């Protein structure tokens, strides 16, 4: 599958029923749903599939334990149902995982045990395992670094490889007849009332083309409002009120030796009231996350000093591990598209909805935003049903059956645990064509054969495509990814003939590497100095200000 020029691709696509904008979990789910319904569907993504929020999650496929305390039982029940379906659709990429919660107070322990037993009960026959009390001695064996606890609770949820699950969705959609293209930005959306004209630009070559479709689904995640601002109807701009308020989440990755976990840890109450996770994933341990409101949505957000301080401090306080900067293998930041609820939501993003929102902007134009990875399939069903209910599309020619349609590469035999280091098992049943030279290791389990396969069959063009999402090197160890990059770049350019953007990726690796100066003490010191300077800059009560 070589990348064709944009004009040739657009001509091949031809007439469409639906164009999907955005190659994250939501957009790819819609593409799968539409293609399996027998629709003529295409999807375009401005960067790479899952390059935004959908590759930067905490790697948890969950029902939402936090929502129980809010009384949102229906939301939890639906997510638990969808969790079980995804685990069955891609067992090589989504698997059950035990979690342990430590409590220091007998009453809190009892309430936690009761709440998590309710969580299990809501899953019904789809439960992944029993919720159990864990005594202090067993807690010390499970989590030797953990500060002393009265007792703990073990419960079950899911974990997954988010970026590779997105690729499995993309390949499933393509196998069902969808056309997909990454590195292709929508630069204009207009309609005369009959059909939508979608103007496209190839971000790698600069080439332009136009597609036409009666229906467009805007699933651009945290950037849906940017797409909405491009819409013109009858020559007039849409001028929409913003739907999304971004929230930033930061994660740290350390080696399994630094924080040796075989089960995930949930810290239910950090000092500022947030929840903290430590999750064994692909041979390392992921610690996160923060929840910081932003007024913008950069493509590569950076962690704030206060966020790094929070994660280092809580890792030491709640998990018993004091991290030095050189022990942090990767620092990555994702933006969540939280549904804007109006002026009342002007405070913390913790008050905004994680639920999704579907808005019919105009005839044949839907925007979908919010939600989470676990419920991507249910969201896609709702989107396509909304287009039919509005009369924008006729009823489907056939039922999609997405609850039973296993995703691309799903193996028939048992899968290797996602706690293990990356390897060919992440491709599931997909076989690599490899000669003797292609088996040469490049680092972190990656081989030349994998790079060639990703360029030929998985839309990989740039080094970032390959080492951030086809292979999770950047997210697991940014320094190792930087060392691997030149050889990966040569292989990609040989396969595609396109500039693999090596310098940009090397700079990105530096951004994902923690600054040696960012120790917990130095962050505290800088934070205190900044607070003191801010207080000194405030006018005194007796001063007049203009």
- For 233-262, the pLDDT digits (tens) are 888 888 789 999 999 999 999 999 999 888
Q: How many DSSP H helices and E strands does the chain contain?
A: 16, 23
Give the per-residue pLDDT at 273.
77
CA distance 184 to 44: 6
Helix intervals (H) in 329-443: 376-389
Q: Is the pLDDT of residue 285 over 70?
A: yes
Cα 189–chain centre separation: 26
Q: Is the pLDDT of residue 344 over 60?
A: no
The overall average pLDDT reported for the chain is 91
Q: Is the pLDDT of residue 538 over 90?
A: no
* Residue in this structure with the two tokens 């990966």, named with its chain if needed: 488
Residues 107-120 pLDDT 10s? 999 999 999 999 99
Give the per-residue pLDDT at 345.
35
Least confident of 17-26, 426-435, 440-449: 426-435
94-103 and 151-160 strand pairing: antiparallel
The helix/strand/coil state of 246 is strand
Are 380 and 33 a contacting pair, CB within 8 Å? yes
Residues 257-284 pLDDT 10s? 999 888 999 998 888 778 899 999 999 9
Going by pLDDT thresholds of 50, 70 and 90, the confidence category of residue 535 is low
The helix/strand/coil state of 274 is coil
Residues 505-518 pLDDT 10s? 999 999 999 999 88
Give the per-residue pLDDT at 270.
85
Q: What is each CA distance from 327 to 272, 301, 324, 492, 513, in whole angstroms?
A: 25, 22, 5, 31, 10
Q: Is the pLDDT of residue 541 over 80?
A: no
Q: Which two tokens stand for residue 429?
A: 């049943």
Q: Is the peptide bond before 289 cis (omega within 30 degrees of 0)?
A: yes
Going by pLDDT thresholds of 50, 70 and 90, the confidence category of residue 143 is confident
Give the per-residue pLDDT at 343.
38
Q: Is the pLDDT of residue 346 over 60?
A: no
Rounded to an integer, the average pLDDT of 157-179 is: 98
Q: Is the pLDDT of residue 206 over 80?
A: yes
Give the per-residue pLDDT at 145.
84
| Domain residue ranges of the chain, discontinuous segments joined by + | 6-53+164-242+350-389, 92-160+244-339, 431-511
Give the per-residue pLDDT at 354.
57
Nearest to 227 by CA among 214, 211, 242, 215: 242
Going by pLDDT thresholds of 50, 70 and 90, the confidence category of residue 342 is very low
Q: Which two tokens stand for residue 423?
A: 């390897």
Specify the CATH number of the domain 92-160+244-339.
3.30.9.10
Specify the CATH number of the domain 6-53+164-242+350-389.
3.50.50.60
Query: Phi/psi at 209 (nearest 5 deg)?
Result: -160, 170
Q: Which two tokens stand for residue 46?
A: 């401005």
Q: CB neighbours (10 Å) of residue 545?
A: 6
Are 434 and 447 a contacting pair, CB within 8 Å? yes
| Angle between helices 478-496 and 502-511 in degrees, nearest 10 | 160
């Amino acid at each position: 599958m070589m990348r064709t020029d944009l004009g040739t691709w657009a001509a091949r696509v031809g007439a469409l029923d639906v164009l999907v904008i955005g190659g994250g979990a939501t957009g790819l789910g819609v593409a799968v749903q539409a293609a399996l319904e027998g629709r003529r569907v295409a999807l375009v993504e401005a960067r790479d599939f899952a390059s935004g929020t959908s590759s930067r999650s905490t790697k948890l496929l969950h029902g939402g334990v936090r929502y129980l305390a809010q009384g949102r039982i229906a939301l939890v029940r639906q997510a638990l149902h969808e969790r079980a379906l995804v685990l069955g659709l891609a067992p090589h990429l989504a698997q059950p995982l035990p979690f342990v919660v430590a409590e220091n107070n007998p009453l809190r322990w009892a309430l936690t045990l009761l709440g998590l037993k309710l969580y299990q009960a809501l899953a019904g026959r789809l439960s992944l395992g029993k919720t159990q009390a864990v005594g202090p001695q067993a807690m010390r064996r499970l989590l030797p670094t953990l500060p002393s606890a009265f007792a703990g609770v073990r419960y079950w949820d899911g974990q997954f490889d988010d970026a590779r699950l997105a690729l499995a969705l993309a390949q499933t959609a393509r196998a069902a007849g969808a056309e997909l293209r990454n590195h292709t930005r929508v630069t204009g959306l207009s309609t005369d009332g009959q059909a939508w004209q979608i103007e496209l630009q190839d971000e790698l070559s600069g080439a332009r083309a136009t597609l036409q479709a009666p229906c467009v689904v805007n699933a651009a995640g945290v950037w849906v409002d940017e797409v909405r601002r491009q819409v013109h109807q009858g020559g007039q701009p849409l001028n929409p009120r913003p739907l999304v308020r971004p929230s930033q989440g930061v994660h740290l990755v350390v080696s399994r030796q630094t924080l040796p976990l075989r089960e995930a840890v949930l810290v239910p109450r950090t000092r500022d009231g947030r929840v903290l996770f430590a999750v064994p994933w692909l041979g390392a341990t992921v610690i996160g996350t923060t929840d910081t409101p932003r007024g913008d949505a950069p493509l590569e957000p950076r962690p704030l000093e206060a966020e790094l301080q929070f994660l280092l401090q809580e890792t030491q306080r709640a998990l018993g591990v004091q991290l030095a900067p050189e022990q942090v293998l990767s620092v990555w930041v994702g933006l969540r598209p939280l549904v804007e609820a109006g002026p009342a939501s002007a405070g913390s993003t913790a008050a905004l909805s994680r639920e999704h929102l579907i808005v019919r902007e105009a005839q044949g134009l839907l925007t979908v935003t919010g939600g989470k990875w676990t419920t991507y399939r249910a969201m896609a069903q709702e989107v396509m049903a909304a287009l039919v209910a509005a009369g924008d599309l006729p009823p489907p020619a056939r039922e999609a059956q997405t609850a039973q349609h296993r995703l691309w590469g799903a193996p028939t035999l048992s899968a290797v645990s996602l706690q293990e280091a990356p390897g060919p098992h992440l491709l599931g049943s997909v076989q690599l064509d490899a000669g003797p030279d292609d088996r040469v290791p490049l680092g972190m389990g990656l081989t030349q054969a994998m790079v060639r396969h990703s360029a030929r069959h998985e839309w990989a063009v740039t080094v970032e495509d390959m080492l951030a999402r086809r292979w999770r090197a950047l997210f697991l160890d940014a320094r190792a990814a930087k060392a691997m990059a030149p050889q990966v770049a040569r292989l990609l350019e040989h396969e595609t003939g396109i500039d693999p953007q090596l310098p940009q990726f090397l700079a990105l690796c530096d951004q994902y590497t923690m600054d040696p100066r960012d120790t917990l003490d130095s962050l505290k010191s800088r934070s205190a100095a900044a607070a003191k300077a801010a207080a000194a800059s405030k006018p005194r009560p007796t001063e007049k200000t203009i």
